[in-house]
């Protein structure tokens, strides 16, 4: 019911409070980071958990960007005057109370809050125990700032503690909660599917592919592949499988394997990838004894997760590798005979998140766009762009791989339902 100006003022108050209370946020995050290290959290999860001054500033900037976006509430989607004289409009309205369940990503606390408040929704936050201290401070900051700007008490609520029983309780509050959005791995998704009676939009994991077509610009392909895998490997829009057309595989596979190894990526390849790697290795000059010793040390360090291991050869890929979201510097690589075969592979193993083709052939690009069933399909660009901020949505709650209501980044409009407004002048139905 609140006007746009009041909601925008609340978001600006949150952004200002985040900057002013950065030291408090960092102290809380340090407690979570130490607990994560002590508890054996992996590097990808620790990276998601980490907050520093620059990340907090970026979160505050995202809130400011959301404040500057058009208010979706009341937006007229379409309308018409019927032959009988009735005026019909379809407008966006808030969903109501949205519960967001998420894992070790404290930035989601603020991103989700800003999006929900701007779209006229109250929010219930349920973060993971890994970010307990960070989430508590961030939710308190957001709630206090929003209420001070005129939003009602309880518009931002944090639910903490408990395990699957508490999650089940939240997921069955049909009289209180209008929608649940889980943002996490397949385990969280499965846990909710087993119990939820409240509607759910799954911000799901991503098994993303990049396919290098026969006509691809190989210099551009190299840059895109490295960006898609290594720029931030622990996120859902990072590439997990690379497919290469047979026509250029002999040239491109050894080249990209070298650069991936230099970047610390462990490759798991199919039979043809392993063969191309072996051919390239045998064509090189034999190493000196000193070089061999260094290479052996690097290989050992890499296998133990302690070094880049640039000379580490690819390992054989298992069937399971094609279905795995690694969220780490591990990549499955395969060779295909055609664009059609690449599309078939993605249909069999993809998660419907983000898929890319690198090509200079218009027919191949069009076939890929039409044939790949995913929320985001790219031509000659990295999958890392699947993000609400990058798409001009300010931020996102997550990326939906479902086909109903919301698909892709979940932003302001996706947090609204539709309502028909009908105006007449004494009309009755005959």
Per residue of the chain (430 residues), give pLDDT as tens.
899 999 999 999 999 999 999 999 999 999 999 999 999 988 878 988 999 999 999 999 999 999 999 999 999 999 999 999 999 999 999 999 999 998 888 999 999 999 999 999 999 999 988 999 999 999 999 999 999 999 999 999 999 766 778 888 999 999 999 999 998 777 888 888 889 999 999 877 799 999 999 999 999 999 999 999 999 998 899 999 999 999 999 999 999 999 999 999 999 999 999 999 998 777 765 555 554 554 555 555 444 443 444 446 899 999 999 999 998 999 999 999 999 999 999 999 999 999 999 999 999 999 999 999 999 999 999 999 999 889 988 788 888 988 888 899 999 999 999 999 999 999 999 8
Indicate the Cα dihedral angle 338, 407, 72, 146, nearest 10°: -120
| CA 79/CA 85 separation, integer angstroms | 13
Residues 6+ apart with CB under 8 A from 381: 224, 356
| CA 363/CA 157 separation, integer angstroms | 51
Instruction: Quick: pLDDT tens for 139-181.
Output: 999 999 999 999 999 999 999 766 778 888 999 999 999 999 9
Beta-bridge partner residues of 208: 239
Dihedral class, residue 70 (left if φ above 0, else alpha if ψ from -120 to 50, else beta): beta
Residues 6+ apart with CB under 8 A from 46: 33, 36, 37
Residues 6+ apart with CB under 8 A from 38: none
Say which residue the tokens 């995202």 belong to.
62
The pairing of strands 354-358 and 208-212 is parallel
The token pair at 262 is 């230099």
Say which residue the tokens 């979940």 belong to.
410
Report pTM: 0.83
- Between the alpha carbon of residue 171 and those of residues 155, 165, 181, 197, 395, the distances in Å are 19, 10, 10, 6, 24
End-to-end CA distance of the chain: 35
Say which residue the tokens 């291991």 belong to.
309
Instruction: Quick: pLDDT tens for 47-95.
Output: 889 999 999 999 999 999 999 999 999 999 999 999 999 999 999 999 9
Q: Write the burial class of residue 379 (CB in 10 Å: 0-12 exposed, 13-18 middle, 19+ buried).
A: middle
Going along the chain from its start, the domains and CATH numbers come out as: 4-203+397-423 (3.40.605.10), 208-385 (3.40.309.10)
Closest by CA to 39, choosing from 128, 165, 164, 166, is 128
């Amino acid at each position: 019911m609140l006007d746009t100006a009041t909601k925008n003022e609340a978001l600006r108050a949150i952004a200002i409070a985040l900057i002013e209370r950065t030291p408090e946020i960092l102290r809380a995050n340090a407690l979570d980071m130490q607990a994560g290290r002590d508890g054996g959290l992996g590097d990808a999860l620790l990276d998601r958990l980490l907050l520093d001054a620059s990340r907090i500033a970026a979160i505050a900037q995202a809130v400011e960007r959301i404040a500057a976006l058009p208010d979706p509430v009341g937006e007229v989607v379409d309308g018409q005057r019927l032959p009988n004289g009735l005026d019909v409009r379809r407008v966006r309205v808030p969903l109501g109370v949205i519960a967001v369940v998420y894992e070790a990503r404290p930035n989601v606390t603020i991103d989700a809050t800003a999006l929900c408040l701007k779209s006229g929704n109250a929010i219930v936050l349920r973060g993971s125990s890994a970010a307990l201290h960070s989430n508590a401070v961030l939710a308190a900051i957001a709630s206090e700032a929003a209420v001070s700007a005129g939003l009602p008490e309880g518009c931002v609520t944090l639910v903490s503690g408990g395990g699957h029983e508490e999650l089940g309780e939240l997921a069955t509050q049909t009289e209180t909660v209008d929608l649940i959005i889980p943002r996490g791995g397949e385990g969280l998704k499965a846990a909710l599917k087993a119990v939820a009676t409240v509607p759910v939009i799954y911000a799901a994991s991503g098994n993303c592919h990049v396919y290098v077509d026969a006509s691809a610009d190989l210099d551009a392909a190299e840059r895109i592949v490295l960006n898609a895998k290594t720029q931030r490997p622990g996120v859902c829009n990072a590439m997990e499988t690379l497919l290469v057309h047979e026509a250029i595989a002999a040239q491109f596979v050894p080249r990209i394997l070298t650069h991936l190894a230099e970047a610390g990526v462990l490759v798991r390849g199919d039979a043809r990838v392993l063969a191309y790697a072996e051919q390239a290795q045998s064509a090189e000059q034999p190493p000196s004894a000193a070089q061999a010793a260094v290479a052996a040390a690097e290989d050992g360090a890499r296998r133990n997760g302690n070094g880049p291991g640039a000379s580490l050869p690819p390992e054989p890929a298992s069937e399971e590798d094609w279905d795995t979201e690694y969220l780490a510097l591990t990549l499955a690589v395969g060779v295909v005979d055609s664009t059609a075969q690449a599309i078939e592979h993605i249909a069999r193993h993809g998660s419907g998140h983000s898929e890319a083709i690198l090509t200079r052939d218009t027919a191949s690009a069009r076939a890929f766009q039409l044939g790949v069933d995913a929320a985001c399909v790219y031509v000659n660009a990295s999958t890392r762009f699947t993000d609400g901020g990058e798409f001009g949505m300010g931020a996102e709650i997550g990326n939906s791989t479902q086909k109903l209501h919301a698909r892709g980044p979940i932003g302001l409009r996706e947090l609204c339902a539709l309502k028909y407004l009908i105006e007449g002048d004494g009309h009755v139905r005959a």
